[in-house]
């Protein structure tokens, strides 16, 4: 797994993995829109997975690859910065994101679920799970992010996602809603719902005062299953920003993370901020 580094904001270098799909082109346009707002540059990456070719097929394969890249460049625009690489798709994206010091990866998803996902997997989920930088996944045409949803579970590591969401909201002049999903009220107190709301308010109060003033977060407390409630609340937002927690390969492979389940079922763009909950224990803001 790649070593994690502190996410830089605003991002200055945005990487967009590309293929010839509509979702991929939508991701490119979304990255361009963000880059314009944040003063960043965008680079496209077309990675072709390694496959076996007989000597007789090599020339045709190279010609077919060039044709695909030329057609893709025509769709992106003549001034698009597009690189092409031959190698394992997921590892190539992760390697470029890490070693070429990109601050954000923006990519499209085909939104596979059920049997199709089990058979074909998801490149987007793999990147979210292993990337050392924030990953924005979208399946929609480019849109302005006028409202941002930041789900938090009140554990220290989730502050990383809230901090990134607040910075994004402030930079884009967007409305920020901070959502906490609780399985049940805090029983044992005179007013368990009021106690839960106070915990959420105290958590938000840990944001730097100037940032809190800039984005004026709205607090929302609901009870239920986290991924279901987040997806439902996302219907009223333009973007979901959350911490992508690493729990270990085996647990992630079998159960997935809340971030990945939201990514799988949410129809709005999801921005996952990588955090290591062990390293984030005792996390404090400057």
For residues 156 and 62, membership in a common domain is answered with: no
Question: Residue 256: helix, strand or coil by DSSP?
Answer: coil
Q: Which of 101, 121, 138 is the last residue of a domain?
A: 138
pLDDT at 115: 41
Interval 191-202: pLDDT, tens: 778 888 999 999
Interval 223-255: pLDDT, tens: 888 999 999 999 999 999 999 876 554 344 433
pLDDT at 98: 84
pLDDT at 260: 76
Flag whether 3 is in a domain: no
pLDDT at 56: 47
Q: Which of 89, 116, 138 is the last residue of a domain?
A: 138
What average pLDDT score do residues 214-225 get? 93
Q: What is the distance between the alpha carbons of residues 134 and 233, in angstroms, rounded to a whole number?
A: 21
For residues 134 and 156, membership in a common domain is answered with: no
For residues 73 and 133, membership in a common domain is answered with: yes
Q: Helix axis angle, 192-204 relative to 159-172, nearest 10°?
A: 60
Residue 225: count of CB within 10 angstroms of its CB: 12
Residue 92 has pLDDT above 60, yes or no: yes
Interval 148-162: pLDDT, tens: 999 999 999 899 999
Hey, what are 231's tokens? 């997806």
For residues 60 and 119, membership in a common domain is answered with: yes
pLDDT at 113: 52
Residue 53 has pLDDT above 60, yes or no: no
Confidence band of 186 (pLDDT split at 50, 70, 90):
low
For residues 158 and 268, membership in a common domain is answered with: yes
For residues 230 and 125, membership in a common domain is answered with: no
Q: What is the distance between the alpha carbons of residues 164 and 151, in angstroms, rounded to a whole number?
A: 12
More confident residue, 13 or 256: 13
* φ and ψ at residue 107, rounded to 5 degrees: -145, 155
Flag whether 197 is in a domain: yes
CATH code of the domain containing 165? 3.40.50.620
Residue pair 149/230 in contact (Cβ under 8 Å)? The answer is yes
Mean pLDDT, rounded, of the chain: 81
pLDDT over 70 percentage in the chain: 78
Residue 114 has pLDDT above 50, yes or no: no
Q: Which of 138, 156, 173 is the last residue of a domain?
A: 138
Helix intervals (H) in 121-208: 123-130, 159-172, 192-204
For residues 28 and 134, membership in a common domain is answered with: yes
Residue 184 has pLDDT above 80, yes or no: no
Residue 219: count of CB within 10 angstroms of its CB: 13
What average pLDDT score do residues 22-33 get? 92
Residue 159: count of CB within 10 angstroms of its CB: 21
Residue 90 has pLDDT above 50, yes or no: yes
Domain that holds residue 50: 13-138
For residues 66 and 106, membership in a common domain is answered with: yes
Flag whether 86 is in a domain: yes
Residue pair 18/43 in contact (Cβ under 8 Å)? The answer is no
């Amino acid at each position: 797994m790649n070593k994690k580094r502190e996410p830089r904001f605003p991002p200055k270098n945005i990487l967009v993995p590309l293929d010839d799909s509509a979702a991929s082109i939508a991701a490119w346009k979304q990255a361009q829109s963000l880059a314009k707002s944040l003063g960043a540059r965008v680079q496209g990456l077309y990675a072709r997975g390694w496959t076996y070719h007989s000597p007789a097929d090599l020339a045709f394969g190279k010609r077919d690859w060039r044709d695909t890249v030329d057609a893709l460049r025509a769709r992106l625009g003549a001034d698009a910065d597009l690189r092409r690489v031959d190698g394992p798709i997921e590892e190539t994206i992760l390697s470029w994101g890490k070693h070429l010091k990109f601050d954000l990866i923006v990519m499209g998803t085909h939104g596979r679920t059920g049997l199709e996902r089990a058979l074909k997997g998801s490149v987007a989920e793999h990147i979210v799970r292993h990337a050392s930088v924030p990953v924005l996944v979208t399946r929609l045409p480019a849109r302005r992010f006028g409202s941002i949803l930041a789900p938090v579970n009140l554990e220290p590591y989730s502050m990383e996602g809230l901090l990134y969401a607040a910075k994004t909201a402030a930079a884009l002049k967007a409305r920020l809603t901070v959502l906490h999903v609780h399985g049940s009220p805090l029983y044992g107190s005179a007013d368990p719902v009021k106690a839960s709301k106070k915990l959420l308010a105290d958590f938000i109060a840990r944001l730097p005062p100037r940032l809190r003033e800039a984005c004026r977060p709205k607090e929302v407390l609901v009870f239920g299953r986290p991924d279901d409630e987040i997806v439902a609340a996302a219907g009223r937002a333009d973007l979901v920003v959350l911490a992508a927690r690493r729990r270990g390969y085996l647990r992630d492979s079998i159960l997935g993370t809340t971030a990945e389940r939201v990514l799988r079922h949410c129809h709005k763009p999801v921005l996952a901020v990588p955090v290591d909950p062990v390293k984030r224990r005792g996390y404090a803001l400057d």
